[in-house]
Amino acid sequence: MRIGFGFDVHAFADQRALILGGVKIPYDRGLLGHSDADVLVHSIMDALLGAMALGDIGQHFPDTDPAYKDINSLLLLDKVIALLEKHAYRIGNIDCVISAQEPKLAPYIPKMKEILSKHLKISTGQISIKATTTERLGYEGRKEGITSQCVCLIESRK
């Protein structure tokens, strides 16, 4: 068994869609990034890559590469899952926390889990997603952006 940890942060930006876990969330701003800036998916990818000791998403999908401009992060997640399978691992579980003062995310978590379970090739019961605020403290509390943290357990299929 191996454990990985992932963290991602993106600032809010005007004229961008807010995408979290592959779900478009109704909000007046989205997140700034080279890709679609899906902080939840990015933290999951980093956790999985870290558990396999294969670096981070910046090494695999650099923001200097025009191929990844505005790309759907779920497509990048599919590539990470292909690496997981290539190295003969399977996911035991994923546990994530999204920190945002707003918007309220709880109503969208079931859909996030449904979408992610298909891409991760695991059941929704193996995925935990929690949303919290920072009680108006810090970056998230000032409504400047959103962070996501994720821990994962992977197991060898050998």
Q: Is 58 flagged in the annotation as binding?
A: yes
110 is in an annotated binding site: no
Q: Residue 56, annotated ligand binder?
A: yes
Tokens of 152: 């994962």
On whether 60 is known to bind a ligand per the annotation, the reply is no
Where helices occur in the chain by DSSP H, the ranges are 39-51, 57-60, 73-86, 109-120, 138-141
Cβ neighbours of residue 142 closer than 8 Å, sequence gap 6 or more: 101, 136
According to the annotation, is 119 in a ligand binding site? no
Cα 7 from Cα 64, distance rounded (Å):
20
Q: Is 147 annotated as a binding residue?
A: no
Does the annotation flag 5 for ligand binding?
Answer: no
124 in a known ligand binding site:
no
Asked if residue 87 belongs to a known ligand binding site, the reply is: no
Residue 138 is labelled as binding a ligand: no
Q: Would the annotation count 136 as a binding residue?
A: no
Please indicate if the annotation marks 140 as binding a ligand: no
64 labelled as ligand-binding?
Answer: yes
- Taking the C-alpha atoms of residue 9 and residue 3, their distance in angstroms, rounded to an integer, is 21
Binding site annotation covers 7? no
Q: Does 14 appear as a known binding residue?
A: no
| Residues contacting residue 56 through CB under 8 Å, at least 6 positions apart | 46, 49, 50
> Is residue 86 exposed (0-12), middle (13-18) or buried (19+ Cβ within 10 Å)?
exposed
Q: Which residues are annotated as a binding site for a divalent metal cation?
A: 8, 10, 42
Q: Which residues are annotated as a binding site?
A: 8-10, 34-35, 42, 56-58, 61-65, 132-135, 142
